[in-house]
Amino acid sequence: ILNVEQSPQSLHVQEGDSTNFTCSFPSSNFYALHWYRWETAKSPEALFVMTLNGDEKKKGRISATLNTKEGYSYLYIKGSQPEDSATYLCALRGVGGSQGNLIFGKGTKLSVKP
C-alpha cells in the first residue's frame, strides 16, 4: 500500500513569517503530486499539480518544488498571513492509478497568528 507522509502535523507561525512543509512519497511509484489547501468549513481547493522532477510552481506567495527521484515535495509560504491558516494536503497519483485514485497524506495544519 502506498504511503504519503506529511510533516509537520501542525505548525504555528506569526504573521509575516515564512514557512515550509514536506510531503514524502515512494519515488518508485510516482505519476503526479497534488497540493490542496483546505480551510475550515470550506471545500479543499487545488493549489498545484506537479509531474516533472525539478518542477517548481508558484501561486502568489505560495510555491512548491518536486523531487521525484528522492520522493518529496516542499510547499513554501512566504510572509504568512492569517488567511493562509488552513490544512495543506498533498496527494499522490501512482503509476497505473486513475485521476481520482489519489493517496492523501494526513495534512499539515497551519495556524498564522496576527
For 72-113, the DSSP string reads EEEEEESS--GGG-EEEEEEEEPTT--TT-EEE---EEEEEE
Place of cell 497519483: 93
Show contacts with another protein in window 48-77 (CB under 8 A). 49, 51
Kindly tell me which residue out of 4, 77, 86, 110 binds another protein, with binding defined by CB under 8 A.
Answer: 4
Q: Could you say whether residue 40 binds another protein (CB under 8 A)? A: no
**CB of 109 vs another protein, minimal distance in Å:** 11
| Shorter beta-carbon distance to another protein: residue 37 or 77 | 37
10, 101, 111, 113: which one binds another protein (CB under 8 A): 101
From the CB of residue 47, how many other CB atoms can be counted at a distance below 10 Å? 20
CA distances from 67 to 17, 41, 82, 100 (A): 25, 32, 29, 22
List residues near another protein by CB under 8 A: 4, 31-32, 34, 36, 41-46, 49, 51, 89, 91, 93, 98-107
